Amino acid sequence: MRKFNTILTAAIMVLFLIHAVLGSFQMLGVGNTVMKTLSWISAGLAGVHMLIGAKLTIDTLRAQKKAGTAYFRENLLFWARRVSGFAVMVLLFFHFTAFGYYVDEAYRLRWFDTGKLVTQIFLVITLAVHIISNVRPMMIALGIKSLKEWIGDILFVISVMLLFAAVGFIVYYLRWNAV
């Protein structure tokens, strides 16, 4: 199950990065791509990832309890990964509801106010924490031996794309709210 979750995570990362770049261009007013299918596939895979992550977390906690060790204090990174993943799932709800809805088969945009901007920036931050804290274990699980050669490049690319997404949200907010 861990190997499947690793492969699933890699697929989610690719789809997320595509979604972030295309969505940012769309929010910047450059291009008009239809991302509905990509978005729903990503959401479905993220849901499966969440369920597997919850099961693996429960299994880990049971094993720790059985072994009689106090896991929380000794491994805060483990909990940072779990809490950031949970925060991403909560904030994804706000992401799903932030942009639009359908009325009689016509897509209507929602007003993008300050509250929506704040939730989307929080989503970017929690994604950064979750992704960055999990890149190393994912690479190890994928069998990548030499982490030093890749980790800096991967973190840089992810950071630039997350910054691009944050700028996209801010520009989109300004486009809605500029006087």
Which of 63-84 are b and which e, b meaning 16 or more Cβ less than 10 Å from the residue's Cβ?
A: ebeeeeeeeeeeeeebeebbeb
To which residue do tokens 């801010």 refer?
170
| Low-confidence winner among 7-11, 22-26, 62-66, 159-163 (lowest mean pLDDT) | 62-66
To which residue do tokens 């690479």 refer?
139
Q: Which two tokens stand for residue 179?
A: 């006087």
Taken in order 78, 82, 83, 85, the sign of the CA dihedral is positive
| Res. 116: pLDDT tops 60 | yes
- Count structural domains, the chain: 1
The CA distance from 18 to 15, in Å, is: 5
The pLDDT tens digits for 65-77 are 777 666 565 678 8
| Low-confidence winner among 49-53, 124-128, 151-155 (lowest mean pLDDT) | 151-155
| Res. 163: pLDDT tops 70 | yes
pLDDT number for residue 78:
85
| Res. 59: pLDDT tops 60 | yes
pLDDT number for residue 174:
94
| Res. 83: pLDDT tops 60 | yes
Residue-number span of the structural domain to which 146 is assigned: 2-177
Cα 17 to Cα 23, 33, 35, 42: the distances in Å are 10, 15, 12, 10
Nearest CA among 50, 52, 48, 62 for reference residue 1: 52
Instruction: Give the mean pLDDT of 16-42.
Output: 84
Q: Which tops the pLDDT comparison, 48 or 155? A: 48
The CA distance from 68 to 62, in Å, is: 10
Q: What percentage of the chain carries pLDDT values higher than 90?
A: 41
pLDDT number for residue 73:
58
Q: First and final CA of the chain: distance in angstroms?
A: 52
pLDDT number for residue 3:
87
The model's pTM: 0.84
The CA distance from 4 to 1, in Å, is: 5
Whole-number average pLDDT of the chain = 86
